[in-house]
Amino acid sequence: SQQGEEDPQALSIQEGENATMNCSYKTSINNLQWYRQNSGRGLVHLILIRSNEREKHSGRLRVTLDTSKKSSSLLITASRAADTASYFCATDAGGSGGSNYKLTFGKGTLLTVNP
């Protein structure tokens, strides 16, 4: 598997439900970032969590980071149809002495929120 690999590949839920997406990575990191991409559009930065942080909140988003398991999760609470998009996690490799700017993306989780 590649650095920054999301799971599941696709997720379909009803409006109002919570959505949880996971990301696993291989090397030590400085930080992990989550992005959203609507179909055919650019990436929107959602949240950055540093390697010394365990949890971070932003509005309806909650991100956790477990560096011992090299994994992160993104929780979207009370989902809306407008949350329908692909969600990507991106990691740098700065924590292992590598670059702290070269982000590695997974293939993303396609979230569909049905009204």
Candidate residues 24, 31, 72, 84; the one interacting with another protein per rule CB under 8 A: 31
| 24 lies in the site for another protein, by CB under 8 A | no
Question: Do residues 15 and 114 lie in contact, with contact meaning Cβ atoms separated by under 8 Å?
Answer: yes
Alpha helices in 32-88 (DSSP H): none
Please count the residues of this chain forming the interface with another protein, following the rule CB under 8 A: 27
Binders of another protein in range 79-108 (CB under 8 A): 88, 90, 92, 94, 99-108
**Nearest distance from residue 8's CB to another protein, in Å?**
15
Give the shortest CB-14-to-another protein separation in angstroms. 25
Torsion, Cα of 36, 39, 42, 47 (10° steps): 0
CA-based nearest residue to 26, from 75, 73, 92: 92
Residue 57 contacts another protein per CB under 8 A = no
